[in-house]
Structure 1
Amino acid sequence: MTANVTDRFAQAPGDPYRYGVYLRPDPATCAAVTAVTSQLRAQYGIVSAGAFPPHATLVGSRHITNPVEEIVAAVTRGLSDASAFTVHNAGVRRQGVGLVYDVHHLADGLTPNPDFVDLAARVDKAVAPLQTPAPNHAEHHFDRDTFRAHLSLVSHDMYVRPDLSEEVEEYV
């Protein structure tokens, strides 16, 4: 008997779903990200960063089996007394194999924005009690020290096309 690829998803309730909480930028920044990712798709066939609406991931790929309404309520409670803060675009930076708009830093481009890190930590704390072990997927844990708020311009495609890395960076 041949196993169906979806058979592995039956191992736990909620599979194959993962949840994330994302911060959407202002319309002008969304337009800039979309313009760059659309040009990269047309010019190089790079699609991974442009496959999703522009966003900064606060927490991502969490295995949660609770109903969506419970997830939304938990995040809402976790952010109920959160205050607005300014986010700066520190420009294009290399992150891993990709390129991003760096929204992690303050206007000086060097100092991490503590409000952004705290926001991600609050969201992580809100959803952590809802998480269940994922039998078929690597866990994604929040770490204040490694968290980097960003808007992806080029991402996973570079794992399979590292030969384009320099040219794409120059193009961006």
Structure 2
Amino acid sequence: MVHRLCPVHGEPQPAQAELDALFDLYIEGLNDIAEDPRIHANHVRVQIIGRRDLLPARVIEAIDHAEGRTAGYDRFVFSVCLAYGSREEILDAIRAIAEDHARGELALEAIDEAAVSDRLYTADMPDPDLVIRTSGEERISNFLLWQMAYAELYFTDVYWPSFSKRELLKAIKAFQQRKRRYGG
């Protein structure tokens, strides 16, 4: 899963020119993914999660194109987070629960972890086992807060553009050497 452009409440928005440049990069990247022969050879479904209502129509068109080109694939899923913030995701899930309860479709007693998980943007995805944080930062930055409850965290000083297959294998090896306790 790749994480980009997270809205943060109280933080100033980037200048429009900066946003437009980012949106152009997203469109280029999504189009590259949609046409990448490795995606098609390995039957990788592309899934974009986040608040599409915060994105311009041209980015949504690129999202729809990438997801549409890979919709029939089910071997792997490549998830990209755009306009995503975990707190907002949890709030959206809570709002959905409240609406379902108000309509009489969800009893108060039925509100549990599964009810929340089923209403997250990642409802059809398993929780991550390993979360890799690049760039030397040792924080989770409002990313998959609910889903990473029992994930192993791996921090590296390598920046994302330089994160190679070798770096990924180092992270996997470190993960394999850990004894998972799932919160215990």
TM range (shorter): under 0.3
TM-score (norm 1): 0.25
What is the TM-score when the length of structure 2 is the normalising length?
Answer: 0.24
